[in-house]
């Protein structure tokens, strides 16, 4: 771990304080959850992160994530995280290895992936919680539904087949504060429109990382994907 283990708790406390201040500035009272992005840590290092108070781990590569998950089950079952989330690009040929292993998949970024997940849910008789990834930055390098695609998506069709959509995920561009804020505000607006169509709450907005999480909190984030700020 790049930071000494004893520093991680202090870093997390500072992040929590900054979250509280952002909530106060925006007049929000909702809970915001810090998710530890652990792609650069090996499993033993993640034990220190868990001991410092991180309850959820997030990974972006299937094979690496599963090997860490299995390590915790075998070597440290008493201190395993409360949940594992998947935040990376998900290939359809790896869905069978992912289904039922992650409590939340943040990165459902296309209709074809949503259809494949739905088929796997039916075949394996499993349910899967997901977030729909939206390309809020407009960058070609980032995946996700466009706003127009999301507005035209029939979510209820997939929920009848085992998919449970809990909200949206998005990544802002590395840009000035005004641009970042506009991107996060767009995601919140799209979430609100979708939940109005569905007639039920969509509680999760996964947006904000180490460099922009305070803006994300001010704009309504419920899940923050924090990595380097915790341990670099």
Q: What is the mean pLDDT of residues 83-112?
A: 94
Identify the pLDDT of residue 227.
Answer: 95
Q: Which helix (H) or strand (E) holds 169?
A: strand 163-170
- Cβ contact 39:227 at 8 Å: yes
140: pLDDT strictly greater than 90: no
- Cβ contact 121:127 at 8 Å: yes
- Cβ contact 7:47 at 8 Å: no
User: Which residues on neighbouring strands pair with residue 86, listed in sequence order?
Assistant: 59, 105
User: Could you identify the residue written with the tokens 């994530």?
Assistant: 65
Closest CA to 172 of 129, 225, 130: 225
Q: How far apart are CA 29 and CA 182, in angstroms?
A: 21
1: pLDDT strictly greater than 70: no
User: Which residues on neighbouring strands pair with residue 130, listed in sequence order?
Assistant: 105, 165
Report CA-CA distances (Å) from 78 to 56, 65, 176: 15, 19, 43
Q: How far apart are CA 204 and CA 110, in angstroms?
A: 18
Q: What is the mean pLDDT of residues 58-87?
A: 94
- Cβ contact 111:155 at 8 Å: no
What domains appear along the chain, each with residue ranges and CATH number?
Answer: 5-231 (3.20.20.10)
Longest dimension (CA), the chain: 49
Identify the pLDDT of residue 141.
Answer: 86
Alpha helical stretches, state H, 40-79: 43-51, 62-75
Predicted confidence (pLDDT) per residue in 25-71, tens digit: 999 988 999 999 999 999 999 998 998 899 999 999 999 999 999 99
Identify the pLDDT of residue 232.
Answer: 77
159: pLDDT strictly greater than 90: no
Q: What is the mean pLDDT of residues 61-87?
A: 94
| Radius of gyration (C-alpha) of the chain in whole angstroms | 17
160: pLDDT strictly greater than 90: no
195: pLDDT strictly greater than 70: yes
């Amino acid at each position: 771990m790049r930071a000494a283990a004893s520093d991680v708790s202090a870093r997390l406390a500072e992040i929590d304080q900054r979250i509280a201040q952002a909530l106060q500035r925006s007049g929000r009272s909702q809970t915001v959850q810090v998710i530890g992005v652990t792609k650069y840590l090996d499993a033993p290092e993640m034990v220190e992160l868990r001991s410092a108070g991180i309850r959820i781990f997030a990974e972006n590569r299937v094979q690496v994530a599963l090997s860490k998950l299995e390590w915790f089950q075998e070597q440290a079952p008493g201190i395993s995280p409360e949940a594992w989330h998947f935040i990376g690009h998900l290939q359809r040929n790896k869905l069978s290895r992912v289904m039922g292993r992650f409590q939340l998949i943040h990165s459902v970024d296309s209709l074809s992936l949503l259809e494949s997940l739905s088929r796997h849910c039916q075949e394996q008789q499993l349910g899967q919680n997901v977030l729909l990834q939206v390309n809020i930055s407009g960058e070609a390098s980032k995946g996700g539904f466009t706003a127009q695609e999301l507005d035209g998506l029939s979510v209820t069709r997939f929920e009848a087949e085992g998919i449970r959509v809990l909200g949206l995920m998005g990544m802002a561009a590395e840009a000035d504060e005004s641009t970042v804020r506009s991107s996060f505000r767009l995601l919140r607006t799209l979430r609100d429109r979708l939940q109005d169509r569905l007639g039920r709450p969509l509680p999760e907005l996964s947006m904000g990382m180490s460099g922009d999480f305070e803006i994300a909190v001010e704009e309504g984030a419920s899940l923050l994907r924090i990595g380097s700020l915790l341990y670099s």
